[in-house]
Every structure is written in C-alpha cells, then in structure tokens.
Chain A
Amino acid sequence: MPSELLDGLRRHDRRALARLITLAARGQNIDAIRNKLGPPSSRARVIAITGSAGVGKSTLVGKLIEQLRQHGKSVAVLACDPQSPLTGGALLGDRFRMGAASDDAGVFIRSLAAASGRQAVADHLDTVILLCEHFGFDFVFIETVGAGQGDTAFHSLADAVVLLLQPETGDDLQWEKAGVLEVADVIVIHKADLSGADKAAAQVKAALDLAGGREVPVLLASSRTGAGMKELAALLESLPTRARNGGAAAELLFLVQQELAARFRRPDIDSLAADWQAGRISTREALRQVLKD
C-alpha cells in the first residue's frame, strides 16, 4: 500500500499525499516511507510560525499564502492544534482562519493534532515535511500549537522560526526570559494596528540588542490592514535554503525525544509511577523500566 501511494506522490496526486500524511502522522510505515523516498530533489523552505494562543498565527499564514501565491510559489501548511490528554480528541480549527485559497491547486492545508507535552507540534512532523517536499512545494509552513515560552523543538525541523508577538504582552522583563525568543529568526509584532505595537517592537529590539550576537529582524504587521505582509513575505522568500537549524545532531535529538515519549506511553505507566511515588521502587529502577526496550 505505501509503495502505491509513494508512486502517487511522485505523480503529484494530492490524495496520495493526504493519505501518506495520515500514515506518517500516526507513525505507521515511517521506515518504509523514509527509505523509499530518500532525499527530495528540491528542498522546500520550511518556516515555523509560533506564538501564544490567539496571537493570530493562522490568520497571518492565510495572508502570507496570498502574497506567496502572487509570486507563483506553492505552499503547504501543517497546522498543529492541541489534542486532549484525557480523551485523545481534538478540534482542529486553523484552516478556517486561513480563509480563501481553498480551490487553489498551489495550496495544501493539513490539520494535525499535537499530543500534550510534545513541544507544540504533531508527532513525526519530520516525515510529514519530507512528504510535502517530495510533492514539490516551495514553502512548508509549520503552524505550532499556541506555544508559550518553553516549546522550541520545531526549531530543529525548520529553516526559519517566525515568532509572533502582539502589543501589550507583558513588561520588558518578559523578553529576558530564555526560550522561544532565543530560537526566533524573525520576530513579527502582529496586530500592529493596535496601540502599543511600536513600544512592543522597541522593547523586543532592546532585549535582542542586550543579548548581542545574531541580528534578528523585528517587523510590524497587521492581518487586519494588510500592513507589513509584503515585507514579511519578501523576507521569507529571501531566506537562503540552508541546513536545518542545528543540523543533524538537533534532528537526532528530536527523534530521540520522540522515541522516549513513545516509550512513556506504556499501559502500565500509571502503576509504575504509583510504585515510584510510594517509594516501592527507586528512581533509578523506575527510569530503567521506562527506558528498557
């Protein structure tokens, strides 16, 4: 079945792409898919869009799609939304906000559920990205779950990380904290039609200057007025296609984390945790049991 689908993928059959993404996202046939596909003939620009819930990630992606389509670039969007840790259910509502574009062959939007505690992106996203690259998309956007401060795993999957902030998000000490600000390659003050946008931009720039080091562009943009979209799209297009951030080691780390998380999903984890909490087994023993194959 996967080999038929892989043939379909090479023929640019969207249904094959859609089906393969389902398999990959579920962790099925991953090795077969990866081994048979090999590296893509052309790399896509993989852009992660992150920021807290409600900052306007989906809406901004919708506006960027418009811009990039005007330049003849094809775009795949992998929109991650949270999955309930209790029921496994998920409400995937991002594509609704991306608007328009739904009858355009150059745009592919796919919603993916991200389990909690997994760094704001869906499992096996690396393979899903690979599938999109083989299909031949120029751009692949990863929209993360509304991500707070610590979720940065997508950094290793993307060529560039765009962090969205909005006016009135906190005092200037916020920006000194470690985390997502450190991995951002581009910072967008979204909803820049609201008051306080200039101040937020100034605070972020000051925080970045204080750190020294790399130059991170800070842009003002508004999906409501369209201001700044042209500039942001141009910036994303001008980014060189480089090795993924952190290179092979970071990719390996991501895979190891994924594997460890998978080992944690064992049927007896609750009783194991209870034994450990009650002191019936030592921490070392508990770790040994979780990590054993």
Chain B
Amino acid sequence: MSNEPIRIVLAKVGLDGHDRGIKVVARALRDAGMHVIYAGLWQTVDAVVRTVADEDADWLGVSILSGAHMTLVPQIMEQLRAAGLNDVGVLIGGIIPEADIPKLLEMGVARVFGPGTSMTAIVDFLKPGRSPAHA
C-alpha cells in the first residue's frame, strides 16, 4: 500500500436534496489529505457507478436521507459488481434505521455511518491500509 492519497467519490442518489451532511464529510476527508470527487445531488445509480469507474476511486460514499436505502443500495452494489468494481469499498451515510444496518452490511457495504458520527471516526476508518482497492 502506497502513501498516495485515497480517492473517494461522494454522491447523493435519487430524489434527496439534503446535501449538508455529505458536504461536511467531503470537507473533513479533504482536510485529512484525501482526494474527494464530489459527484453531488440527484445522481442516478448508473451515473455514480460510471463516476467510480472513470475516477478509479478506492471508495464510494453515498449519503441517503430519503428512506430509499433498501431500494438504492442493492442497485448500487449490483451495478458495481456488474462493472467489475468489486474492490471498491462502499460507505453509506445518512438516516438509516438501526434494523436495516445488518442488511446493508450483508449486501457488502463496508460501514454505515449515522447521525452524530464524528468526522474522526470516518477518517480513521478510511486510513491507508484499510483501502480495499489497488492494495
């Protein structure tokens, strides 16, 4: 594993206009020395997977506050696999009910970060060495 900066795509998927949280995370990861590709609001699953591929990202972070995570996350995981991006780690953030977290982890999500998560917790989780891709 090199000391090269981690490349992470941050995106909001679907009809969900709340981007305050993901912007705070983007800023914190930037300040931790990572290269944050901010894909922004209202992305389709296709567009996010394309972005992860073209940007050669190590991680994908998706923030969902719309309640649609049990619909969107399976689609994201499926399309990442279909695109051969199995080695990309997926983080989910936002409003995710406790009961759904094990199901998301089961689908292959690396970690779910809910409200109140400290930025340090996310940065520490992503620290080099943990990066799933291109190790």
User: Chain A: residues with CB nearer than 8 A to chain B?
Assistant: 14-15, 18-19, 21-22, 26, 83-84, 87-93, 95-96, 102-103, 108-111, 113
Contact = CB atoms under 8 A, between A and B. Distances in A.
A22 B5 CA distance: 11
Given A92-B36, A92-B38, 19 more contacts: A14-B54, A15-B84, A18-B56, A19-B134, A22-B56, A83-B35, A84-B31, A88-B33, A89-B5, A89-B31, A90-B34, A90-B35, A91-B38, A93-B38, A95-B39, A96-B40, A102-B47, A103-B46, A110-B54
Contacts of A90: 5, 30, 34-36
Contacts of A14: 53-54
Given A89-B34, A92-B36, A95-B39, A111 B50 contact: no
B55 A110 contact: yes
Majority SS at the chain A contact face: mixed
Contacts, number: 79
A87 B31 contact: yes
B44 interface: yes
7 contacts: A18-B56, A93-B37, A96-B38, A102-B43, A103-B50, A110-B55, A113-B5
B56 A21 contact: yes
A103 B47 CA distance: 6
Given A26-B4, A93-B40, A108 B47 contact: no
B54 A91 contact: no
B95 interface: no
Contacts of B2: 26
Nearest to A101: B47
Contact of B5 (A88, A108, A110): A88
Given A14-B54, A18-B53, A87 B4 contact: no
B104 interface: no
A108 B56 contact: no
A96 B38 CA distance: 7
B72 interface: no
B73 interface: no
A102 B50 contact: yes
Contacts of B43: 102
A14 B52 CA distance: 11
